[in-house]
Structure 1
Amino acid sequence: MSFRIALSGLNSAATHLDVTAHNIANVNTAGFKSSRALFSDVFATASNDLSATATGAGVQVASIQQKFGQGNVDFTNNNLDMAISGEGFFVMKGREGTVYSRAGAFSVDREGFVVNNDLQRLQVFPVSETGEFATGALSDVRLLTTESPPKATNKIEVGVNLPANAPQPAGVFSSANPSTYNHATSMTVYDSLGTPHTSTIYFIKEPAANTWTQRLFVDGNERGSPQQLTFDSATGKLATPAGGALPTVTVTGAQLGTGSADLALDFNYNGSTQYGQGFGVNSLFQDGYTTGRMTGVEVDKTGVVSARFTNGQLKLLGQVALAIFSNPNGLQQLGETSWAETFTSGGPRLGQGGSSNFGLLQAGALESSNVDLTEQLVEMITAQRNFQANAQMISTADQVTQTIINMR
C-alpha cells in the first residue's frame, strides 16, 4: 500500500514540476496567465468501514487552475498592439469559431482585416449609419484600402481686425494693383471632386465712416457681388450684416473648370472687429477638404478604432468588443494564449472598455505575462523536495519489504 501512496505522491510532484516549468517557459509570452496545481487527498475506505484507524490512499491532482491577475503593460509603439488594463478578453473569430484572448499583438492580413498571430480576426461593435456603435452585433474590423472622399467647401468663417484709421484707397479697384485696396487674405477652398481652388478676399475702406467693402476672387476671377461690412463706432464690433452672414456666393462647375458640381460658399464675419491701427487675421476656417489616403490607425482607451487620412479626417471603424465571464477559471485553454467558452465558465458578457467593470485599453502596448519568476523558482524547489521525499518513501518501503522477506 505504501508503494502506491508514494507513487501517487511522485506523480503529483511531477505534475507540480510540469506546471511550474510551463509557467517559467512562458515568462515572456504576451497575455499569458500563470497556472497553479491544486491537489486533494485520496481516502479509500468501504462504506461500512467505520474504523477510525483507516489510512489514506495518497494524493491526486484536483485541478490545474489559472491565475488571471493583471500583467505589466509594456509599450511597443505599434498602434495595432493593445493591452487591457483590468478585466476582459479580446473576442476573436477564426476557423474554429469564437475564442477569447488577453494577447493584443495584432497585425493586418492581406485583405486588410486586423488579426492575431493565428489569423483569428478581432471583433468590434460596428458603426451604425448615425455614427453610433451597434453593441448588439459583432463584426470583423477591416482597415480601409480606399481613399477618403472629398467634401466641397460650403461654410467659411472669417475673423479679421480691420484698422480703424485706414485711409480710403485711390483709384478704381483692381486685384492686380495693391494701391486700390487696403488689405487681402487668401485661403484654399475645395470643389465636390476635391480639387483645390485659391480664394482671395479683398478689403477696401469706403468714404463712409466705419464702412468697408469685401470682394471675393476665386482662381483670380471675381465671384459674387461686393458686400459691405459696417462696424459700431462705440464698440468696434461688426454691426452689419446682422450675425455676420453674407449672401451665398455660387461658383458654377463650368467656372471652376473641373467638371465638379456648383460651389456654394456661405461667408460669416461674426467676430470681426475694427480696432486700432493694424490689420490682423484672427481666424480663417473653411469646412471642405480634398481626397485622402489612410496614414495610420488610432485606438483610444475605450477601444474606438479610427482610421486617419492625409486630408485630416478620421473615420470610425468600430469599437473593440471585450468579454467578461462569471467564472474565467472554467474557460478551456486552447493554446496560443486563447480560451474557449465552456458550460462551467458561463456565457460571455460583452461590453466596451471603461464601461461597467470592463478594463480600459492601451494602444501601442502589450500586456506581459503575469508569471512571477521568483515565485516559480520557489515552487520548483518545493516540487523537487516533494519528489525527493516520495522517492525516499518508496526506498524505505522497499527496505521494509526486504526485511520481511528475509525473516526466517
Structure 2
Amino acid sequence: MAFHQGLSGLSSSSKALDTISHNVANASTVGFKSGYTVFGDLYASAMLGGSTSLQVGNGSQVTAVWQNFTQGNPTVTGNPLDMAISGNGFFRMMGTDGSIAYTRNGQFDVSRDGFIINTTGYRLTGYAVADANVSPPVFQGEPSVLYVDTTNVAPRETGAASVGVNLNSSTTNPLAQTPPGSDITAYLNATSIPVDSYNYTTSMTVYDSLGNASMLSMYFVRQSDPVTGDPLNTWDVYARLDNDVVPDPADPTVNTGLPLEHLGEIVFTEFGVPDTTVANNGVFSMSRTAAELATGADGLTFTLDLSRSTQWNSTNGVTTAPRQDGYTTGRLTGVSVNSSGILEGTYSNGQTKAIGKLALAEFAAPQGLTSLGGNMWAESYDSGEPAVGAPGTGVLGSVTSGQVEESNVDLTAELVNMIVQQRNYQANAQSIRTQDQLLQTLVNLR
C-alpha cells in the first residue's frame, strides 16, 4: 500500500516548506545564513529472497538541513562598531557563563560595563593590548573578552617637536636699520618684542606632564656680515614659552625669569637647504625646570627639530605642519575598527589609541556547526575545532567597519522552491487519495 510512501512524502515536503519559510522570514536578518533540506529515500525490505530487482521503496525522509555559508552582500550603516567580514571567518563571542559562540552578525555596541556586546548580550573577544605606546601596538597572544576603558586617558609630556619653515632668501637682517649700538639680545628680551626685530615668527603648542598647554613661539633672525652688512645663509633661532617671565629691561630685579632664549643657528647651503656638514644643524633642545614652568609639573625638556626648513626666494611661512608627541588629558568620544581589525578609541584630545584586536574563527566544516539561534553557532564534533587568528590571517578574511553583512537568502530562488515543494506536497496527497480509491474499490467488491 502506498499510504506510508505518501505520508513520508508529505512529511518531507512539509519540512522543506518549513525550511523555506524560515529562510524567507529571515531575508532581512543581518548575517543570516539560509538553510536547505537534504532528502533521502527509504527502503523497507527486499522481497522474494532479497532480489534487488523487486526491492520496494518505502518513501522519503529528511536526512539533514544544511546551511549555506556563502557570503551575503555588505551594506553601509555608518555605525563605526558595525563590522562585516569579507572571508570565511566568524566573530568569536563569549557569554556571561564563559560559553563560546560564533556569529557573522557584526552589529555591536559598548555596554555600560565597557564590553562590546551583540544584541543577545554575548561579548566580543579578541587580543588585549600589551603595549599601546609603540607603533604598531603589541597585543597579547591569547584571545579574551575585549574591554573598552571609558576613563580619561592620561596626559603625555612633549618629548619631541618639529616644524618646517621657509625663510625668504631675499630678506636681510632686520636690525640693520636700527639705531647704532642696538643689541639684538636686548631687543628680543624686551617685554613686548618689536615686529621689526625679527624676520619671521611661528608658534606651536607643547604640553607638560600634567597636560598643561604652553605656546612655544619661535623667532628667526638672519645674520649679516659684520663688515659689509651683506646677508649670510645663517639664521639665529630664538624661542620662548608663553609662561616664561620676561625681565623688565629697565629694572632687572623686577620680574626676574627666563629671557627669550637663543637656541642656536640654522646654516643653509647655496641651494637653500640645511647644511648637512654642520652637526645637529637645525635641531635644538629646550628645557624648563618645575620652578620656571610654575604649573605644578616636574619640568619640561624636549627637542625641537627645524631641519626640514628651507631658505628659498619665497614668502616666509610654514612648509611642514608643526608636530609634537605630547597631549593633554582626554575623554573617550568614540570607538571604531580599522582595516587591520584593531579596535581603536578616539579621545577628545585628538588622540587615537589601540584598545584591542579582533579574533576571528574559521571551521573546516561550518555546515556541522550547531545553531543556537540569534544568528549564532556553537562548535560541534562535525564542525571540527576552530582555527582562531587575527583578521587578514589565512582565509579568515578582513573586517570592514561601518558595514554589516546582509542575509544571503535569495528570495527569488526561495519562492521558486516554495512552489516546487507545494507541488510535491500536492502530488503526495494525490497518491494517498489514489490509494484510498483503490481500497474503496476492494471494499465495494461483493
Normalising by structure 1, we get a TM-score of: 0.94
- Residue 250 in structure 1 maps to residue 301 in structure 2: no
CA–CA distance in structure 1, aligned partners of residues 314 and 30 of structure 2: 64
- Offset at residue 279 of structure 1 (A): 2.2
Tell me the residue number matched to 1:71. Answer: 72
CA–CA distance in structure 1, aligned partners of residues 418 and 442 of structure 2: 36
Tell me the residue number matched to 1:105. Answer: 107
Of 16-25 and 174-183, deviating more is 174-183
- Offset at residue 275 of structure 1 (A): 2.9
Task: Give the letter aligned to residue 208 of structure 2.
Answer: D
- Residue 199 in structure 1 maps to residue 235 in structure 2: no
Task: Give the letter aligned to residue 335 of structure 1.
Answer: G
Question: Given that residues 223 and 250 in structure 1 are in contact (C-alpha distance below 8 angstroms), is that contact kept between their aligned partners in structure 2?
Answer: no
Change (3 A) 1:111 1:246: same
CA–CA distance in structure 2, aligned partners of residues 40 and 233 of structure 1: 87
- Residue 16 in structure 1 maps to residue 16 in structure 2: yes
Tell me the residue number matched to 1:268. Answer: 305
CA–CA distance in structure 1, aligned partners of residues 158 and 44 of structure 2: 85
- Offset at residue 81 of structure 1 (A): 0.7
CA–CA distance in structure 1, aligned partners of residues 160 and 260 of structure 2: 15
Counterparts of residues 359-370 of structure 1 (less than 5 Å): 359-370=397-408
CA–CA distance in structure 2, aligned partners of residues 277 and 59 of structure 1: 88
Tell me the residue number matched to 1:294. Answer: 332
- Residue 351 in structure 1 maps to residue 365 in structure 2: no
Aligned to 2:11, the other structure's residue is in SS state: helix
> Percent identity among equivalent residues?
41
Task: Give the letter aligned to residue 241 of structure 2.
Answer: V
- Offset at residue 277 of structure 1 (A): 6.1
- Residue 166 in structure 1 maps to residue 172 in structure 2: yes
CA–CA distance in structure 2, aligned partners of residues 286 and 91 of structure 1: 38
Normalising by structure 2, we get a TM-score of: 0.86
Tell me the residue number matched to 2:431. Answer: 393
Of 36-45 and 239-248, deviating more is 239-248
Tell me the residue number matched to 2:296. Answer: 259
Task: Give the letter aligned to residue 215 of structure 2.
Answer: T
Aligned to 1:14, the other structure's residue is in SS state: helix
Q: In structure 2, list runs of 5 or more residues that go unmatched.
A: 226-231, 246-257
Counterpart of 2:201 (choices 180, 184, 189) is 184
Aligned-residue Cα RMSD (Å) equals: 2.1
- Offset at residue 309 of structure 1 (A): 1.4
Tell me the residue number matched to 1:3. Answer: 3
- Offset at residue 223 of structure 1 (A): 5.6
Q: In structure 1, list runs of 5 or more residues that go unmatched.
A: none
- Offset at residue 224 of structure 1 (A): 7.3
Change (3 A) 1:306 1:331: same
- Offset at residue 14 of structure 1 (A): 0.8
Tell me the residue number matched to 1:140. Answer: 145
- Offset at residue 110 of structure 1 (A): 1.3
- Residue 211 in structure 1 maps to residue 234 in structure 2: yes
Question: Given that residues 227 and 246 in structure 1 are in contact (C-alpha distance below 8 angstroms), is that contact kept between their aligned partners in structure 2?
Answer: no
Tell me the residue number matched to 1:82. Answer: 83
CA–CA distance in structure 1, aligned partners of residues 35 and 305 of structure 2: 66
CA–CA distance in structure 2, aligned partners of residues 269 and 144 of structure 1: 37
Question: Given that residues 81 and 363 in structure 1 are in contact (C-alpha distance below 8 angstroms), is that contact kept between their aligned partners in structure 2?
Answer: yes
Counterparts of residues 106-125 of structure 1 (less than 5 Å): 106-125=108-127
CA–CA distance in structure 1, aligned partners of residues 417 and 283 of structure 2: 79
- Offset at residue 111 of structure 1 (A): 0.4
Tell me the residue number matched to 1:341. Answer: 379
Question: Given that residues 224 and 250 in structure 1 are in contact (C-alpha distance below 8 angstroms), is that contact kept between their aligned partners in structure 2?
Answer: no
